Structure 1
Amino acid sequence: MNTSRFHFASGNLAKLLAIPKYALSWVLAFFVPRASERWVFGSGVGVGEGALALARQLRRDRPDAPIAWLVATDAERDLAAAEGFTPIRRASRHGYWATLRAGTLVVTHGLGDVNRFGVFGGAVVQLWHGAPLKRIHLDSPVTTAVRGPAIVRGLLKRMYERGTKQVSLYIAGSVTAAERLRSAFRVAPGKVLVLGDPRDDALARQALEPALAAAARDTVAAALEAQGAPAIAQREKLVLYAPTWRDGAPDPAIPTPAEVAGLNEALAATGSRLVIRSHPLGEGEYGAAAGPRIHLFGSELARDITPLLGAFDAVITDFSSIAVDFSLLERPILWFAPDLDEYSRTRGLYEALEVTAATPIERTWAGVSELLTGVLTEATPAKRESVRAARALAARFHPHRDGNSAARVLAAIDRLGLPAAELVPPGGVFFESFYGRQVSCNPLAIDREIASREPGLARYWSVTSESQRVPAGATPLLVGGREWFAARRGAKLVVVNDWLRYSFRRAAGQTVLQTWHGTMLKHLALGRPNVSLRTRLAIRRESRRWSLMLSQNPHSTEQFRRSYAFDGEIIETGYPRDDRLARADLGGSRNPIDAQTARLALGVPDGKLVLAYAPTWRDRGTSVVDDLDVNALAAELGDDWVVVARGHTRTHAFGGYLRVDPRVIDASTHPDINDVILAADLVVTDYSSLMFDAAVAGVPLAFFVPDLASYRDSERGFTFDFEALAPGPLLERREQVVARARELSEQGNAAGWIAEHRDRYAAWRATFTPHDDGRAAARVVDRLTELGAL
């Protein structure tokens, strides 16, 4: 099969040349009203994919809904008409007008599935076309490929980013797929909902009802026999080979005559047929392989292969999302990628293919032939292993297996038009910690205190992923979603520990408590060196959004006044997040029950000493900070120690700590940093505010600061004389850290080790933790109650 080839480079050039059309359409959209009852659908494969499943659901639920399908060919026109839709040429003026007037636009591949110039101001729903295995859109270097100067490439990238903002709702089949879509399209988490993929509805039903899978087999068999294939016996097995598109490049897996002969032998031995399905956008010259047992099944026979996957006993693929779809059936999947290394390097994968597959990756057709014999034979280890891997893949990518994803998506689209008060009732408390990346810190401690006093009060938590757990009785809301905006706007009390974003404006009668997230050693906000006028204005605008601030100590109170020009009330009462630490301090030692609980939560083996390494982030950093080299540190400390590494929340996007040594535990995304502190025999940091929290619990501190001079004099600077007051040794080399840790283990208890720094440690606690007695959260909520914020 040979299809027309598409290249990103040529498509991107056309996009740049069309800028005047985009600009004119953007203006026109202000004057042309959209009709909320009108729907426009389109798909890169024609009439198919999840768009077709959703349109059919819409037709069943609302028979009178005007549905237009934008087409590119006469064949697509006929298919749309047969479904009862109104076919309109995508590139025509009628296609432009239909897109410009429709209230809802549904696409699977991109805005070009409809008339891309008419999308401005419409409610665009992006279904995508499978779970992303290979990197897509802005995550892939090939997406914005175009030759030319940097200014041209930059303009193209901005056009792509602007296009993603035209989409009102992205649909994902799973949390894993959702996180990849959020990354690829650079959109807020709340713009992507995990509702199941409508394109898999028919397949999910086939998994539940074998008769439907048998009907799919009959459809495939009839189509092949109509093309001249020998009649397919009921006992024969069908195997699908579906390679992915290679960005316009030729398919490297075309089999040689010798490989075809080997395939035929394997197929004959197992009583099987091989059905080859090249990607509709790709180029695959598989005609020479066709024969009595090998058949071509191109898009001319079925535009959409997913609803027919139940016909097949096994699937062979490389990087195609068909593997994820097929896993619903829990049947064998064979992974064949002769160009795995090159493809991984140039296009990129979201994870190593070996991780996705959980089975070996074949590189040759000979290997595939051998594997086929195993997986197509009943009760063989190869088949059992392949089925196990398919089930594991389905568990990751298919939380919804009822075949009703289209109905869920339709309900979500209806919610796009609801007013905020109907999405989330006004009132309650809205919590956010570290921009929703964690459910932690002072907001979490305050939440617990409020919940204990007002169990019936509505509580909403800002999160960035469906995998995050919120306190019992609270409602998680994805950042940037309509419900998230509604809850934040309508809450009586908003509790945050970092900046408010998305042009927040405090409503009348609303209280905003800014708890911040640590006593500052380093300068922040207006106190930072060389702050631009634009940043200064942004800082002052931000602090005017707050009603109250929370402070741990007098030093913080003074710094907040200066750094944020904040003249409102500051509640100086200690840190609620440290209440647990304060209660664990028994006056020079930690409660052993608290320490053991924390160690169990982190997975620390019994009998091991714990060195916790928790550096802060760097302003220009693009990776987790590992100046200490945690793996080398663990090796040098030896078997008596475990290194627990905790990266700053602002480095989470760069990944965690590579765990080479088994004595390293990466706790960067562990939900409670207090576990790290309470489990530690020694806390090593650089300039992180963790140093103040650790002091509340009386944990020994050491400071690994090889860049002390540059950080102090050039990058951030300090708000006090850190070198004179530090309650532990300032170290510059890893061997010094190792030596200090060994001193601690030889002392046998923290009190003896701290003796060297006893006076400075005591002064540090008196200065920076004078209110941290385990009752800070109660005092904060008392004050909020007095102010009528609850």
Structure 2
Amino acid sequence: MPIEKKKIVFTSHHGNGFGDSPKYIALALLDKGFKLVWLVRQKNQAIPSSIQQVEYGTKESLIELATAEIWIDNCRKRLYPPKKKKQVYIQTWHSPLRLKKIERDAEHDLPSAYVMQAKQDAKMCDYMISGSSFSTALYRNSFWFDGEILEVGTPRCDLFFKAPNRSLDRTKYVLYAPTFRENSSTDAYLKDFERIRVALEGLGYGEWKVWVRLHPNLRQGAATYDFTFSEDVIDMSDYPDIQELLNQADWLITDYSSSMFDQLIARKRCILYVPDEVAYQRQERAFYFKLDELPFPKSRTIQELEQVIIQWDETKYQKDIAAFQARVETYETGQATQKVVQKIQEICIGDSYV
């Protein structure tokens, strides 16, 4: 099957939703003469009508990949046809920075089947997108990757450099977005959200609501977990794009999730709630950074979390944020999507397929 010039096939999280950096690249390409295809497990109303939706994992999806000029993904590919010599594969990865060790750095903790899959994926990949010098070194040393690294920033984080549209909403929001545990336990999760709301409102910040967003691995069973939702504590686990929530929220409370680094880029407030810090590192995954090295205040109990909020020092926090950004040598300027689009246009100019 011949390659179709200027045809791009996108996948995000193995066909789960319309989000992450591939979404923002696709949106920026809408009016530039490309044929855009999105592989998705079920039809998604958030995807513009000008982007063709094809069911992930089907014969049709393999045909689309086989005939595309460019593949764009944010995870290791699982289902794909043999990649042709003139096809280009751009890997955005699914975090600008990360706390937990991954890929070769965690090889002994990963399933052998995944490691084989990752190595094969790395051989196919032509470009990786990096948001910092730290990530560039990681991709080069730990991803089995020998291709070109585009040091342009993270497309999904460009929206942090634009003012959120909050003109009609005076309510403030705190987003709670913990990562998952391998045993699916939520024992270490924050549950008493009312105390957090009261602490924030006690500072004179006005009316507050809590958004709770569980990790995709837990969403299907959210109703079975011990969470109490209300008008003020809202389950946002099914909201399609966490970047939009991060952009709208005034604070983030998380634990070991890479969403903390999105807040770093946005220079917005983030607190770590980590009552199981010791057990997590022993049972789950080692870290690239010690928690005390991060610019985010840490709390192990609900009482400590309240005190962090009450005693918040914005001047110190911004100073710590700037120092950590300098340490990892960030490339984030809000122009990542534009630069990736320019690269895609360069790739497609002058190519011919017979």
Partner Cα separation in structure 2 for residue 709 and residue 479 of structure 1 = 39
Q: Secondary structure at the match of 2:230?
A: coil
How far apart, in 1, do the equivalents of 2:111 and 2:190 lie?
Answer: 35
Alignment of 1:528-543 (within 5 A): 528=106, 529-531=108-110, 534-543=113-122
Is 1:457 equivalent to 2:27 in the alignment? no
Look up the equivalent residue of 1:475 and give its one-letter code: Q
Distance 1:570 1:731 in 2: 36
Q: Which of 235, 238, 249 is the matching residue for 1:666?
A: 235
Aligned twin of 1:761: 321
Correspondence for 2:139 among 557, 560, 582:
560
SS of corresponding position for 1:627: coil
Q: 1:766 Cα deviation (Å)?
A: 2.7
- Pair 1:572–1:651, CA change in 2 (3 A): farther
Deviation string 1:327-380 (CA, Å, 9 cap, x unpaired) is xxxxxxxxxxxxxxxxxxxxxxxxxxxxxxxxxxxxxxxxxxxxxxxxxxxxxx
CA positional deviation for 1:583:
2.7
Q: Deviation per CA, 1:730-756, whole angstroms, max 9, x where unpaired?
A: 111123223333445xxxxxxxx3223
Q: CA shift at 1:647, angstroms?
A: 1.9
Equivalent in the alignment of 1:627: 188
Q: How does 1:319-338 map to 2 (within 5 A)?
A: none
**With CA pairs under 8 Å and 6+ residues apart, which has the higher RCO, 1 or 2?**
2
1:563 Cα offset (Å): 2.3
1:123-162 alignment runs, 5 A limit? none
The letter for the 2-side match of 1:695 is L
Counterpart in 2 of 1:718?
A: 287
The structure-2 alpha-carbon separation of the partners of 1:437 and 1:446, relative to structure 1 and needing over 3 Å to count, comes to same
Q: Judge conservation of contact 1:696–1:769 (CA < 8 Å) in 2.
A: no
2:211 maps to: 644
Equivalent residue for 2:178, pick from 606, 611, 615: 615
Q: What residue number does 2:56 align with?
A: 479
Give 1:556 shift. 0.9
1:595 offset after TM fit, Å? 5.0
For residue 434 of structure 1, what is the amino acid of its counterpart? H
The letter of the residue matching 1:694 is Q
Distance 1:681 1:634 in 2: 17
Structure 1, residues 38-81: CA drift from partner, whole Å, max 9, x if none?
A: xxxxxxxxxxxxxxxxxxxxxxxxxxxxxxxxxxxxxxxxxxxx
CA–CA distance in 2 between the matches of 1:505 and 1:650? 29
Query: How far, CA to CA, are the matches of 1:646 and 1:533 in structure 2?
Result: 30
- The one-letter code sitting in structure 1 at the alignment partner of 2:189 is L
Which residue of structure 1 aligns with residue 204 of structure 2?
none
Are 2:308 and 1:740 equivalent residues in the alignment?
Answer: yes
Q: How many angstroms does 1:551 deviate by?
A: 0.9
CA contact (8 A) 2:62 2:80 kept: no
Query: How far apart, in 1, do the equivalents of 2:315 and 2:133 lie?
Result: 26
CA contact (8 A) 1:431 1:461 kept: yes
Q: 1:708 to 1:595 in 2, by over 3 A?
A: farther
- Which aligned pairs between 1:149-188 and structure 2 lie closer than 5 A? none
Matches within 5 A, 1:562-601: 562-584=141-163, 594-596=164-166
1: CA distance, partners of 2:264 / 2:98: 14
| 1:678 equivalenced with 2:240 (yes/no) | no
Match of 2:221 in 1: 654
* Pick aligned residue for 2:86 from 489, 492, 509: 509
> How far apart are the structure 1 equivalents of 2:228 and 2:84?
47
Distance 1:713 1:693 in 2: 26
AA matched with 1:700: R
Structure 1 residue 769, shift from structure 2 partner? 6.7
Q: Does 1:544 align with 2:112?
A: no
Distance 1:648 1:714 in 2: 18
Residue 337 of structure 2 corresponds to 777
SS in 2 for 1:629: coil
Which letter does structure 2 place at the counterpart of 1:643? V
Cα offset for 1:693? 1.1
TM-score, normalised to structure 1's length? 0.40
* Alpha-carbon offset, residue 535 of structure 1: 4.3
Compared CA separation, residues 465 and 738, structure 1 to 2 (3 A): farther
The letter of the residue matching 2:98 is M
Distance 1:626 1:433 in 2: 29
In structure 2, distance between residues paired with 1:644 and 1:438? 20
Aligned to 2:101: 523
Letter of the 2:85 counterpart? A
3-state SS in 2 of match to 1:596 = coil
Q: Deviations over 1:136-195 (max 9, x none)?
A: xxxxxxxxxxxxxxxxxxxxxxxxxxxxxxxxxxxxxxxxxxxxxxxxxxxxxxxxxxxx
Q: Gaps spanning 5+ residues in structure 2: where?
A: 202-206
**Alignment partners' CA distance in 2, 1:533 and 1:506:** 23
Identity rate of aligned residues, in percent?
Answer: 26
Residue 533 of structure 1, CA deviation: 5.0
Asked whether the 8 Å contact 2:212–2:233 carries over to 1, the reply is: yes
Deviation, 1:723, is 1.9
2:8 corresponds to? 429
Q: Secondary structure at the match of 1:428?
A: strand
Q: Does 1:470 align with 2:47?
A: yes
State whether residues 9 and 65 of structure 2, in contact with CA within 8 Å, keep that contact through their aligned partners in structure 1: yes
Q: Distance in 2 between matches of 1:472 and 1:767?
A: 42
Does the 8 A contact of 2:195 with 2:306 survive in 1? no
Structure 1 alignment gaps of length 5 or more: 1-419, 585-593, 601-605, 745-752
CA distance in 1, matches of 2:53, 2:112: 37
Whole-angstrom CA distance in 2 between matches of 1:515 and 1:580 = 16
Contact conserved, 2:134 with 2:328, CA < 8 A, in 1? yes
Alignment of 1:182-581 (within 5 A): 428-452=7-31, 454=32, 456-518=33-95, 519-528=97-106, 529-531=108-110, 534-581=113-160
SS of the residue corresponding to residue 90 of structure 2 reads strand
Seen in structure 2, the aligned counterparts of structure 1 residues 626 and 634 have a Cα distance that, compared at 3 Å, is farther
Distance 2:266 2:165 in 1: 11
Sort the Cα spacing of 1:626 and 1:671 in 2 relative to 1 into closer, same or farther, 3 A. Answer: farther
**Inter-partner Cα distance in structure 1 for 2:4 and 2:144:** 34
Give, as a single letter, the amino acid of the residue that structure 1 aligns with 2:247.
Answer: L
Find the counterpart in structure 2 of residue 786 from structure 1. Answer: 346
Compared with structure 1, are the counterparts of its residues 432 and 459 closer, same or farther at alpha carbon in structure 2 (3 Å cutoff)?
Answer: same
Query: Which residue identity lines up with residue 615 of structure 1 in the other structure?
Result: P
- Deviation track 1:86-123 (CA, whole Å, cap 9, x = no partner) reads xxxxxxxxxxxxxxxxxxxxxxxxxxxxxxxxxxxxxx
User: How much does 1:652 deviate?
Assistant: 3.1
- Please give the alpha-carbon distance, in whole angstroms, between the structure 1 residues aligned to 2:165 and 2:273: 24
Rounded to whole Å, the distance in 1 between the matches of 2:276 and 2:208 is 26
Find the aligned partners of 1:647 and 1:515 in 2 and give their Cα distance.
23
- Residues 685 and 659 from structure 1, CA distance in 2 versus in 1: closer, same or farther, beyond 3 angstroms? same
